[in-house]
Amino acid sequence: MEKKRCNFSFGKEGKVSSKALLYHDTRWCKPEHRDGELFAMLILEGMQAGVSWDLILEKEENFRKAFDGFDPAIVAGYDEQKTESLMQDKGIIRNRRKIEAAIQNAQAFLKIQAEFGSFDCFIWSFTDGKTVDHHLSDVKDMPAKDELSEKVSAALKKRGFKFVGPTIVYSYLQGIGVINDHWEECEFR
């Protein structure tokens, strides 16, 4: 018997890629507290701007390899030569502004770690460490952004982050489990 899933997790003509299905079932809206993964998701969400999440999932392994496993301490030190190398990497999104933002975001990420002890402490402080569960009955009820994502977006921008508008941040908060938008009947909530 097929499991009930969120009705948006299926792509064109009811088809879903195996990577998208695995992401929905095991990672999306699941609380994440490891700083390395919090940074990885921040960069992947920024890279997703203007392209499909399916494309990002298809290229995720390439991104992880190209960006040194998303180690913020390494990414923060990237120079122009590394940027040019990334611009030639066909396995990732080759957008100079996004690549430069990833480097800048790594630098800002490290500053937050130094100030708060971890990025986890910072990002989860906006909800006192609790997941915001919207108990959706249908994905049409899911907003693209909300008051929380606007607040987090403003805080990140103030600290020097790029590609962190309220819509990207809303998706990021879902991706790391700060927001749970699995619909009520989804067996993976």
53 is catalytic: yes
| Cα–Cα–Cα angle for 153, 138, 22, rounded to 5 degrees | 75
Question: Helices 147-158 and 166-175, interaxial angle, to 10°?
Answer: 100
Q: Choosing from 28, 32, 45, 183, which is the catalytic residue?
A: 45
What Cα–Cα distance (Å) separates residue 104 from each residue in 55, 80, 107, 151? 23, 13, 5, 20
Both tokens of 44, joined, read 């992947």
Nearest Cα neighbor of 67 from 35, 34, 19, 100 is 100
Both tokens of 89, joined, read 């990497």
Q: Choosing from 37, 53, 58, 150, which is the catalytic residue?
A: 53
d(CA 125, CA 188): 25
23 is catalytic: yes
Q: Choosing from 23, 28, 78, 124, which is the catalytic residue?
A: 23
172 is catalytic: no
Quickly tell me which residue has 């923060």 as its tokens: 76
| Cα–Cα–Cα angle for 48, 51, 57, rounded to 5 degrees | 60
Residue positions annotated with a catalytic role = 23, 45, 53
